[in-house]
C-alpha cells in the first residue's frame, strides 16, 4: 500500500509478505534447496537438519515483497537416498501424505510440486542403486501429470548442487502466491444449469 507522507513523497507502508514453506520426505534436498537459493552456493561441508527461517526482499512487477522461507524437518531425515525425482516412495508420499496435509491446513494456498536433485537423474551410481530395488527415475511427464492430478499450480524441477532451475522454482512460487490460479469451474452437462 502506498501513501504520501507530509513531504509529499510516496512511501511503502506495508510490504506484502509471501510465505514459502518447503515440505516433503526427509533427505529429498529441502534444506539444500533453500541454502543454495539464499547463499548462491551448495552447502558442501555441513548441512543442518533444518534451515533457519529466512526473509529476503524480492522485486516483482516493480513492487518490493518480503519472501519468507521456511523449512520443515522430514520425519525420516536420514542417509537414505530418496530424492523426489528418483524415488517412487517419496513420489507416493506426495499423494498419501504431503498434499492432503497442505490442503487440510491451508486449503486455499497454491502449491508447486518440486522435483529436487535432478543432477542425480543421469548419475550412474544413483541409477544403479535404484535398479537394485527394481526402480528407476520418475520421468518428468509422470511428475507433470501428478501435479495436474493433485491440483498443484505447476511441476518444476531443479538442482541445488548445480543451481539448474533453482531461481525458476522460487520465481514460480512467488508468482503463484501473488497471482493464484482461479479455481476451475465445473460445468453442468444439463442445458438448464447456469453458473
pLDDT of residue 89: 77
**Which CATH number fits the domain that encloses residue 79?**
3.40.50.300
The mean pLDDT value for 49-72 works out to 87
Task: Render pLDDT for 68-105 as a digit per residue (tens, 0 to 9).
Answer: 999 887 554 433 333 344 466 788 889 999 999 999 99
Are 11 and 2 spatial neighbours (Cβ–Cβ below 8 Å)? yes
C-alpha distances out from residue 93 to 22, 143, 151, 152, Å: 15, 13, 15, 15
Residue 187 lies in a domain: no
Residue 186 lies in a domain: no
Q: SS in 3 state form for the chain?
A: CEEECCCCCEEECCCEEEEEEECCCCCCCHHHHHHHHHHCCCCCCCCCCCCCCEEEEEEECCEEEEEEEEECCCCCCCCCCCCCCCCHHHHHHHHHHHHHHHHHHCCCCCCCEEECCHHHCCCHHHHHHHHHCCCCCCCHHHHHHHHHHCCCCCEEECCCCCCCCHHHHHHHHHHHHHCCCCCCCCCCCCCCCCC
Domain that holds residue 69: 2-178
Residue 195 lies in a domain: no
Task: Render pLDDT for 11-25 as a digit per residue (tens, 0 to 9).
Answer: 444 678 999 999 988
The model scores a pTM over 0.75: yes
Residue 188 lies in a domain: no
pLDDT of residue 75: 53
Residue 78 lies in a domain: yes
Residue 9 lies in a domain: yes
The mean pLDDT value for 152-176 works out to 96
**Mean residue pLDDT across the chain:** 80
Task: Render pLDDT for 22-50 as a digit per residue (tens, 0 to 9).
Answer: 998 888 889 999 999 999 999 887 777 77
In the chain, the percentage of residues whose pLDDT exceeds 70 is 77
Task: Render pLDDT for 137-146 as a digit per residue (tens, 0 to 9).
Answer: 889 999 999 9
Total of domains in the chain: 1
Residue 138 lies in a domain: yes
Residue 124 lies in a domain: yes
Amino acid at each position: 500500500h502506498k501513501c504520501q507522507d507530509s513531504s509529499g513523497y510516496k512511501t511503502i507502508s506495508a510490504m506484502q509478505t509471501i510465505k514459502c514453506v518447503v515440505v516433503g520426505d526427509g533427505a529429498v534436498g529441502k534444506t539444500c534447496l533453500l541454502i543454495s537459493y539464499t547463499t548462491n552456493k551448495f552447502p558442501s561441508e555441513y548441512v543442518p537438519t533444518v534451515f533457519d527461517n529466512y526473509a529476503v526482499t524480492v522485486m516483482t512487477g516493480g513492487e518490493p515483497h518480503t519472501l519468507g522461507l521456511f523449512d520443515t524437518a522430514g520425519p525420516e531425515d536420514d542417509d537414505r537416498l530418496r530424492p523426489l525425482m528418483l524415488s517412487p516412495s517419496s513420489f507416493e508420499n506426495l499423494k498419501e501424505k504431503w498434499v492432503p496435509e497442505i490442503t487440510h491446513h491451508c486449503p486455499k494456498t497454491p502449491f508447486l510440486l518440486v522435483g529436487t536433485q535432478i543432477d542425480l537423474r543421469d548419475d550412474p551410481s544413483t541409477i544403479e542403486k535404484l535398479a537394485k530395488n527394481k526402480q528407476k527415475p520418475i520421468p518428468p511427464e509422470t511428475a507433470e501429470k501428478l501435479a495436474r492430478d493433485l491440483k498443484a499450480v505447476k511441476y518444476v524441477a531443479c538442482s541445488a548442487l548445480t543451481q539448474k532451475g533453482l531461481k525458476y522454482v522460487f520465481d514460480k512460487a512467488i508468482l503463484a502466491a501473488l497471482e493464484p490460479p482461479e479455481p476451475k469451474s465445473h460445468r453442468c452437462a444439463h442445458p438448464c444449469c447456469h453458473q
